Amino acid sequence: MGIRKPKSLFNHLPTELQTKIFGGLSMKDQSKAMCVSHSWRNRILTTTLPKEYPLQPLVFPHLSPHPFYGLQQFFNWCSLVMCCNVSSRNIIDTCNGLFLFCHKDGQARNIVRGVYHYYVMNPIRKQCVAILKPSGQFFGGNSYAALVYDPSESWFFKIVHFQDHGHINIFSSMTGLWTTLTINFLQYINESYWVRKSVYLKGSIYRLSCSGQYLLKIKVDPQENASNQAEIITLHPDCVFDNCQREINLKDGKILLVSFRGVNFVCFELVECVTMGVSSYTWHTIHRKVNRKLLILNTNGDLLSFNSYGGVAFFKFRNLLYFYYYEFNGNGTNFGMVSYDPKSKTYSAAIRAMLKGGS
């Protein structure tokens, strides 16, 4: 080879040989290879996908290092593609960079106006795919729905539509089909209230059941035994009080449960132990903080969201938005009201800085 080595021997191989090498990889390894470079990603997308790929995007991919400079520009693009007015209120879920919308006024290609469709948006590649709601749900609202996407597992996404407490409809972009699954919960779980937020991790969706004080784990792939499709996880005893505000979140591949009650802020981590094929779950306390300033927000305010990466919680109190910021790796805390500039339509620089490392 001499002193000077080529940058990549692989790129000098014939296209046919590169295709055979990529085709011999597992789906998980192909997903990892797609993250190496744009040329590898395009090669895999154009040569290893199924020949009868069922989904046709409404817009063709257009790579850009800075696809959008702000949320308003992103929503303007969504409105242009869907041919209807789209705002943040139309977002149903987000997952690893993809956005899920549901709308009935779209007039894009092959879309019938007045019929509800799910729209999956990729702001990085500037792609949009429209999916007709499952059979029998064409003219209803979005109900409960969650987006499932993990590029380390697969480049395909799934939409999980919660028809009721006993059935879920799952759409796979790999097959282009809806599948209906039955989940067996006890009666007191079926009658409980479910939080309109889900967290996806390693093939399962996690959802909180507020009135029953349980965490529900639902596998998104069909199981041979319907009883294995869903599991019930009891929350930590410190989270079962009626005046406790809680939320689930994801950080570094771990399920987190945050609890706000009185002057207390507590963060728990879900730990799963598998013995002879049977899973058991425990909650480990990883952060606990007492601050008297939390009392008025926990008593009279509503917890809107918690960012596990930034360590910041947002509360609504008397039609105003407040934040509580806690340094996970230190003792620093901060309170304040979120300021909003109507001219630039942006929040204060302090809030943006705290959220910079979040998901």
The predicted-structure confidence for 231-269, as pLDDT tens digits, reads as follows 888 888 888 787 888 888 888 889 999 889 888 888 899
pLDDT value, residue 171 = 92
The owner of tokens 């009658």 is: 191
Over its C-alpha atoms, the chain yields an Rg (Å, rounded) of 23
Run means of pLDDT, 10 residues per run, the chain, 359 residues: 62 81 79 76 67 65 65 84 83 88 78 82 86 70 78 86 79 88 68 71 85 81 76 85 84 89 90 84 89 86 81 82 73 68 50 43
Q: Considering only CA atoms, which of 212, 162, 177 is closest in space to residue 192?
A: 212
Which amino acid type is present at position 125? R
Distance, in Å, from the CA atom of 332 to the CA atom of 22, rounded to the nearest integer, reads 48
pLDDT value, residue 252 = 86
The owner of tokens 């002057």 is: 263
